[in-house]
Amino acid sequence: VSDSHRLLRQPTDPRMHGFSHRSTVAQALHWIDQHARPLATEWVSLTAAASRVLAEDVTSPVDMPLFERAMMDGYAVRAADTAGASHYEKVRLRLVGELLPGEAPKTNVAPGQAVRVMTGAALPPGADAVVPVEQTESLAEFVDVLAEVVPGKHVGRRGEDVQAGTTVLHAGRRLRPQDVALLASLGISQVPVVRRPRVRLIITGNELLPLGQIPHDFRIVDANGPMLAALVERDGGCVLEATMIPDDAEAVRHAMLQPADVVLVSGGTSVGKEDHAPVVLADIGELAIHGVAMRPSSPTGMGRIQQTLVFLLPGNPVSCLCAYDFFAGRAIRLLGGRPSAWPYRSRRLPLAHKLVSQVGRVDYARVRIFDDHAEPLAIGGASILTSATRADGFVVIPEDSEGYPAGAEVEVFLYEPLP
Ligand code: AMP
Ligand code: MG
């Protein structure tokens, strides 16, 4: 397949000739899946491990718990001694000691004896059950048992939670807070995780002003830099640097050559006079895909410079969002060992009115949810940023579809982040 993609490379400068060929979304996804393999393993402290992706299975070095323990505050007894005990027929046992959590048992529990225990304390030898304090009456040197217990009652068995040698968490697991707790309990303080992809942002455009400026004259403030940084963070990557450069081939070349796992170029990705990124990428690396049959985001490109994956994202903010979500995000998630699927929940909803699409391209329609219906807002209008902020989500209309009539049920991907 990579051979057939190589044929798609345009040997001559494509600028001002328009796209002679567009790849399908499926071809672009396939290229990503071929080239975005999980990065190497790194060891991190457990305190920094939550939400990281485990690179290897973790096997427990110990039984947990390591000892038989009391699960209630009460009295460690021999269950047989409590046979027939009730409120009317109390069984009197001699109190021979007390055990707190963390203490080693000092006394044996012989027939007719009991040891006062607190939750988490070891079960003293001889005892095989715990009578909860609520089912006893305490006297100075004795305890009266008011209920029968069976062997093992209120006792945590050694290894009942985890047995030494078993796999507790599998490679690929995104560590949850409770996973971190489990690993800590097993005495593990360092874990092997997939390295986070290091992502470089290159924001191109002579017209751009940096964050914090107020738009003036004919210039606009960079919207894609902050958006891409948030998207990269969401997908587990870390942004190394966001560089803003003018539409200048030398500047694009220099920025693209800086080390990174992934380079995201915003703007200048099409076939216009000022669109240098595709030409530069083809020159210093491989431009595997340029032009994708979709709307918005058709002037998307991707390729690589040695091990670095490079995504050329159109400058219109909605196109940039869409191209990131379809392609760059998938690559970043895969590099970081995450599932390729979108980190969006989806809901099936009927359309409030018809949604027209063109056969031959994938459409990305922003929709609003109203009255439990999906209300299409826009497919075009890639420069209208509020079409993505007013929307609750989006519907993807496949290449071979002409769209859907009013009332048809569609899958809406919800922009709202997963909790
Ligand atoms: P381009 O992809 O460079 O042809 O840009 C397409 C449109 O998106 C133009 O109107 C640009 O001014 C605009 N644009 C490019 N980059 C950005 C950016 N970083 N933030 C907001 N708009 C942009
Ligand atoms: Mg531009």
- Which pLDDT tens digit goes with each residue over 3-45? 444 444 444 565 667 898 999 999 999 999 999 999 999 999 9
Ligand 1 centroid to 313 CA: how many Å? 10
Is 143 within 8 Å of 137 (Cβ atoms)?
Answer: yes
pTM summary value: 0.91
Ligand 1 centroid to 316 CA: how many Å? 5
pLDDT for 3 equals 43
Distance CA 305, CA 252 (A): 13
A 10 A CB-CB count for 48 gives 11
* Block residue for tokens 């240098």: 276
Q: Which residues contact 217 (CB under 8 A, 6 or more apart)?
A: none
Tokens encoding 55:
């690179």
Tokens encoding 338:
């995450």
Ligand 2 centroid to 246 CA: how many Å? 9
Ligand 1: nearest atom to the Cα of 272: 4
Q: Among 220, 264, 271, 290, say which to mutate for ligand 1: greatest number of ligand atoms within 8 Å of CB.
A: 220
Q: Is residue 220 within 6 Å of ligand 1 at its C-beta?
A: yes
Exposure string for 338-369, b = 16+ CB within 10 A, e = fewer: beeebbeeeeebebbeebebeeebbbbbbbbb
Is 153 within 8 Å of 79 (Cβ atoms)?
Answer: yes
Amino acid (one-letter) located at 235: D
pLDDT for 13 equals 61
Q: Is residue 266 within 6 Å of ligand 1 at its C-beta?
A: yes
- Helix 249-256 to helix 277-284 angle (10° resolution) is 50
Q: Is residue 122 classed as helix, strand or coil in its secondary structure?
A: strand
Q: Is residue 197 within 6 Å of ligand 1 at its C-beta?
A: no
Q: Is residue 167 classed as helix, strand or coil in its secondary structure?
A: strand
**For residue 348, what are the CA distances in angstroms to 374, 403, 407?**
9, 16, 12
DSSP 19: -
For 235-289, write each residue's pLDDT tens digit: 999 999 999 999 999 999 999 999 999 999 999 999 999 999 999 999 999 999 9
pLDDT for 417 equals 76
Q: For the chain, list residues with pLDDT below 50.
A: 1-11
pLDDT for 14 equals 59
Distance CA 91, CA 136 (A): 9
